[in-house]
Amino acid sequence: MEYRSQKVAYWYFAAALPLFVLQIFLGLYLAFSYTFTVPQAVVDVFPFATARAMHTNLLVLWMLLGFMGGTYYIVPEETGSEIYSEKLAFLQLFALLAIGVTALAGFFLGWTKGRPLLEIPPPLNYFVVAGALLFLFNVGMTMVRASRWTATQGTLLGGLVFLALLYLFGIPFYRNEVVDWYYWWWVIHLWVEGAWELVTASIFAFVLMNLTGVDRQVVEKWLYVEIGLFLFTGIAGTGHHYYWIGAPRYWLWIGGIFSALEPLPIVLMLVDTMNHIKERKNPIVNRLTWTYAVGCAVMHFIGAGVWGFLHTLPQINYYTHGSQVTASHGHLAFFGAYALLNLMTFYYAMPRLKGIREYDDTRGKYGFWIMTSAMMLMGLTFGVAGVLQSYIERVLGLGFMTAQSYMRLWMGATFFLGLVFLSGVLTTVTDLLTIRPKARA
Ligand code: HEM
Ligand code: HEM
Ligand SMILES: [Fe+2]
């Protein structure tokens, strides 16, 4: 840690971690509900839809807190200056946490807008906008005041502004269901396949540059290529969500072709990471951050690139749309690209923020491998359930509940693997919060 104000990042990370744990408990409840019969009295109080809204909103909340903390850590080093206002950064953290807790309590009481992932109702979502503006103002002012610009920091700011702007399209109420879903995808798709990718690419570039000591020009040159490709394929690729919602037919072509190209920038990112790691100049301290960096590049490729490609062509999506195949991809992609990216950032920054140079990474390694293997297997069990579902419902044309009875075994496997995943999460979270210097031999 070189700048005093970077310390706020620690609190963003520390706030994100318990929310991650809570997200997993809700995921377990969801998988449990697919496998066992939950008593009606419990369902009346805590329906599946409520738990699902909590599971996914917690996911978004902890990851956004992670991105924001990451930004507060990176920007001082990139600009060579303290954060514009530390007080504002803390105020914004408390505001977001307060909004988050209110939203979750609200879902529980049935206060929801109902649109998946964007359930936060008005007027609460105006507070989200206010929080985001506070954040962008603080980060922007830091950059303007320092007036030192780098590609990494520019991409980061660009991605964050894009992310905030897109949220606005999810706020209005559209009378026409087609229009409603049309804009819903602007938020969901253009977040994860656009804005979040830019934020990820820049955070990844920062960590790689610092870990490997590879020259800034080399890392940033790739950054330009990657963001160009991400935007080119990602924006037109939105079409892969317009196949069956009542939008014009040309989306079948546009969506199919451009989204089939989406794995390209992800492959580039993987190859690029491997190259930088080979060319490294710095000696290796704390191998765990490396493990996360490589793990993130590989799992990002598998979850988003391969699993995304598998069901992105309309000829296949016609059968798999909205099935557990989608959930399989959603889990692998979110985990690979964004959970691992955030955890990599935490492992990079948290020891430094505590002034620890070398730490004991035994527990952390267990955490990584347990989580990653369990999630990979969960991707497969969700996937088998999804293929059965697609085949029974859409090829054989049998009923919803007939398909459910065949899927049950695989959702049960997902639940048990979820318990293993939970043990990995608990190990990782405890390790991050109680990280200690390496004992001298
Ligand atoms: C890190 C990047 C990505 C993340 C986090 C992600 C996540 C998700 C999630 C959560 C959904 C489900 C949305 C819903 O219906 O509730 C979804 C759907 C979808 N994703 Fe991705 N995705 C990513 C990248 C990609 C890529 C690169 C492709 C294509 C190559 C792709 C193709 C699709 C398709 C076709 C659907 C619609 C599935 C359906 O019709 O039910 N995704 N994605
Ligand atoms: C113990 C671990 C977990 C279990 C058992 C679990 C289970 C589930 C289940 C059963 C659903 C509902 C699928 C449906 O609507 O039919 C779901 C949704 C979802 N979960 Fe998880 N989950 C877990 C962890 C995670 C993690 C770590 C992430 C992200 C990093 C995640 C991201 C999501 C997303 C994005 C959705 C919405 C998917 C969609 O729209 O298709 N989950 N989860
Ligand atoms: Fe998409």
* Residue 337 shares a structural domain with residue 198: no
* Residue 340 shares a structural domain with residue 418: yes
Residues 170-187, mean pLDDT to the nearest whole number = 94
Residues 171-181, mean pLDDT to the nearest whole number = 93
| Ligand 2 pocket residue status of 302, Cβ below 6 Å | no
Give the closest residue (by CA) to ligand 1 atom 33: 308
Q: Is the pLDDT of residue 440 over 70?
A: no
| Ligand 2 pocket residue status of 28, Cβ below 6 Å | yes
Residues 175-191, mean pLDDT to the nearest whole number = 96
Task: Please indicate, yes or no, if residue 5 is contained in any of the structural domains.
Answer: yes
pLDDT value, residue 2: 86
pLDDT value, residue 278: 87
Q: Tell which phi-psi region holds residue 397, choosing left (phi > 0), alpha (psi between -120 and 50) or beta.
A: left
pTM here is 0.97
Over residues 261-299, the pLDDT tens digits come to 999 999 998 898 889 888 888 887 889 999 999 999 999
| Ligand 1 pocket residue status of 119, Cβ below 6 Å | no
Domain hosting 219: range is: 185-279
Give the closest residue (by CA) to ligand 2 atom 8: 27
Mean pLDDT, the chain, as a whole number? 96
Over residues 215-264, the pLDDT tens digits come to 999 899 888 998 999 999 999 999 999 999 999 999 999 999 999 999 99
Which H or E element spans position 320?
helix 314-320
Token pair for 149: 């610009």
| Residue 312, CB-side half-sphere exposure with 13 Å CA sphere | 29
For residue 324, give the ligand 2 atom closest to its CA.
Answer: 16
CA–centroid distance, 397 to ligand 1, in Å, is: 25
For residue 338, give the ligand 2 atom closest to its CA.
Answer: 30
Of 263, 211, 258, 216, the residue nearest 236 (C-alpha): 258
Nearest-5° Cα angle at 266, 230 to 288: 125
CA–centroid distance, 3 to ligand 3, in Å, is: 38
Q: Give the end of a domain, one of 279, 309, 329.
A: 279
pLDDT value, residue 304: 98
| Ligand 1 pocket residue status of 79, Cβ below 6 Å | no
| Ligand 1 pocket residue status of 227, Cβ below 6 Å | no
Residue 418 one-letter amino acid: G
The residue whose CB lies within 8 Å of the most ligand 1 atoms, and thus the one to mutate among 180, 240, 307, is 240
For residue 418, give the ligand 2 atom closest to its CA.
Answer: 1
Over residues 107-139, the pLDDT tens digits come to 999 999 999 999 999 999 999 999 999 999 999
Residue 374 one-letter amino acid: A
Residues 382-386, mean pLDDT to the nearest whole number = 98
Structural domain count of the chain: 3
CA–centroid distance, 205 to ligand 3, in Å, is: 24
Q: Give the end of a domain, one of 84, 119, 148.
A: 148
* Residue 214 shares a structural domain with residue 239: yes
Report how many helices (DSSP H) and strands (DSSP E) the chain contains, helices first: 18, 0
Helix (H, G, I), strand (E, B) or coil at 304: helix
* Residue 305 shares a structural domain with residue 258: no
* CB neighbours of residue 9 within 10 Å: 28
Give the closest residue (by CA) to ligand 2 atom 31: 331
| Ligand 2 pocket residue status of 382, Cβ below 6 Å | no
Q: Give the end of a domain, one of 148, 169, 196.
A: 148
| Ligand 2 pocket residue status of 59, Cβ below 6 Å | yes
pLDDT value, residue 441: 58
Q: What stretches of 188-227 adopt beta strand conformation (E)?
A: none
* Residue 298 shares a structural domain with residue 347: yes
pLDDT value, residue 411: 98
* Residue 121 shares a structural domain with residue 193: no
**How large a percentage of the chain has pLDDT more than 70?**
99
SS (H, E, C) 42-104: HHHHCCHHHHHHHHHHHHHHHHHHHHHHHHHHHHHHHHCCCCCCHHHHHHHHHHHHHHHHHHH
Rounded CA separation 179/213 (Å): 48
pLDDT value, residue 439: 78
| Ligand 2 pocket residue status of 428, Cβ below 6 Å | no
Residue 173 one-letter amino acid: F
pLDDT value, residue 25: 98
* Residue 7 shares a structural domain with residue 42: yes
CA–centroid distance, 330 to ligand 3, in Å, is: 10
pLDDT value, residue 352: 96
Cα-trace Rg, the chain: 21
* Residue 273 shares a structural domain with residue 292: no
For residue 311, give the ligand 1 atom closest to its CA.
Answer: 35
Give CA 42 to chain center in angstroms.
30
DSSP summary character for residue 359: B
| Ligand 2 pocket residue status of 331, Cβ below 6 Å | yes
Task: Please indicate, yes or no, if residue 162 is contained in any of the structural domains.
Answer: no
Residues 393-419, mean pLDDT to the nearest whole number = 98
Give the closest residue (by CA) to ligand 2 atom 3: 27
* Residue 298 shares a structural domain with residue 406: yes
Over residues 32-77, the pLDDT tens digits come to 999 999 999 999 999 999 999 999 999 999 999 999 999 999 999 9
Nearest bound ligand to the CA of residue 342: 2
pLDDT value, residue 359: 94
CA–centroid distance, 308 to ligand 1, in Å, is: 6
In the chain, the N- to C-terminal Cα span, in Å, equals 26
* Residue 140 shares a structural domain with residue 206: no
Task: Please indicate, yes or no, if residue 161 is contained in any of the structural domains.
Answer: no
- Max CA separation in the chain (angstroms): 68
CA–centroid distance, 326 to ligand 1, in Å, is: 7
Omega into 123 within 30° of 0, i.e. cis?
Answer: yes
Ion ligand 3: residue ranges with CB closer than 5 A: 189
Rounded CA separation 419/24 (Å): 9
The residue whose CB lies within 8 Å of the most ligand 2 atoms, and thus the one to mutate among 55, 325, 428, is 55
